[in-house]
Amino acid sequence: MAETPGRTILETVKQYGTRLSRFIRGQVKSDEDAEDILQDVWYQLARVVDLDGIESISGWLFQVARNRITDTYRKKKDDSLSDLMGDEDEDDYRFRDILLADAETPEDQFFKDIFWEELMKALNELPENQRVVFIQNELEDRTLQEIADAAGENLKTIISRKRYAVQHLRKRLQRLYNELDNL
């Protein structure tokens, strides 16, 4: 649908209000949170000086809504992400606990979706041999010895690849951990 020039806030609310409200309600626990987020989105829209300057009003509205949902989720997150991820010095860095756990709430699912997306980007930055070892060990639950045997590699080589992968992922995902840990 093409955006029309001379758009007003009232027209935008009428056109997108119901869809945006349904989207937000599907992402948060309570109607109160959904209403607060929706009001924040409309408030942000009201602060925009030139609505015609927004190339895709629907894209803008949904991005603002996603950002507010993330903010709300961060504020309400009971468990500290650092508790889930373990100490930095811990050798057994278990991503699986987060990635494969059942999402009990829409917020949990939203977090998992963000985490999976960022993890996949970070994994794609790794050399293939490190990426394969990490995926097989962490996500496929294969032991490092099994991986070494299957690849015909020395166990110490596989351990080293896993360690380098974990170090890269920790560094690469630290910003996300910090945001979700309210640091």
pTM, 2 dp: 0.45
Whether 104 and 25 map to the same domain: the answer is no
Helices within 52-154 (DSSP H only): 57-76, 81-85, 96-99, 106-124, 128-134, 144-151
Number of domains in the chain: 2
C-alpha distance across the termini of the chain, in Å: 41
> In this predicted structure, what is the pLDDT of residue 159?
92
Query: What pLDDT is recorded for position 179?
Result: 64
Three-point CA angle 97, 77, 43, nearest 5° = 135
Tens-digit pLDDT string for the chain (183 aa)? 444 445 677 888 888 888 888 888 888 778 888 888 888 888 888 887 777 777 788 888 888 888 888 777 666 543 334 444 444 434 333 455 555 556 566 666 777 777 778 888 888 999 999 999 988 888 777 888 999 999 999 999 999 999 999 889 888 888 776 666 543
**Which of 180, 71, 42, 177 shows the shortest CA–CA distance to 122?**
177
In a domain, 17, yes or no: yes
* Cα–Cα distance measured from residue 8 to residue 112, given in angstroms and rounded to the nearest whole number: 36
Residue 85 inside a domain? The answer is no
Q: How confident is the model at residue 74, as a pLDDT?
A: 65
For residue 157 the two structure tokens come to 């080589």
Domain that holds residue 166: 90-182
Q: Is the domain of 110 the same as that of 142?
A: yes
Report yes or no on 84 lying in a domain: no
d(CA 160, CA 148): 11
DSSP, residue by residue, 132-162: HHHIIIIIS---HHHHHHHHT--HHHHHHHH
CATH number for position 48: 1.10.1740
- The alpha carbon torsion through 137, 141, 145, 150 (nearest 10 deg) reads -80
**Is there a single domain that holds both residue 60 and residue 102?**
no
Residues in the chain: 183
> CATH number, domain at 123?
1.10.10.10
Taking residue 133's Cβ as centre, other Cβ atoms within 10 Å add up to 27
* 64 & 102 share domain: no
Asked if residue 11 is part of any domain, the answer here is: yes
Last residue of a domain, one of 48, 78, 108: 78
